[in-house]
Amino acid sequence: MGNWSAEFMDVKLSDAKNHFERALDCKHTEFDDLYPYMIEHPQFFWYKRYVAWSELLTIVKLFEELDLEWREPFSERQAEYIGKRVMSSRVLDEWYETNDSKEHVG
């Protein structure tokens, strides 16, 4: 695989991580532009996070199929969540590590 391809994939991974984190933080994403009528719905932020999580998992799956390392931009805990593939309330609540969260790593 050429360097440009690996760099391209790294950019895609970074974009997907950023998209998910923006969705987690309730910041504007492309999803808001695609579905402006949904902003009024209580489920909107859930859908938005689900779409961003699905995108992140898809990019990680491509990395794995291409035998590329994808874990570097993520904390150990974040990589573990991605490996489990399920977007649980714990992922939403604990995506950003705090100083005391390292005690809980088992």
3-state helix, strand, coil in the chain (%, to 5): 70, 0, 30
Contact in structure between 63 and 13 (CB atoms under 8 Å) = yes
- Is the pLDDT at 101 greater than 50? The verdict is no
Q: Which two tokens stand for residue 81?
A: 């969540």
Averaged over 10-16, what is the pLDDT?
97
Greatest pairwise CA separation for the chain in angstroms:
45
What average pLDDT does the chain have?
A: 88
- Is the pLDDT at 63 greater than 50? The verdict is yes
Count structural domains, the chain.
1
Q: Which domain holds residue 20?
A: 3-104
Tell me the residue type at 70.
W
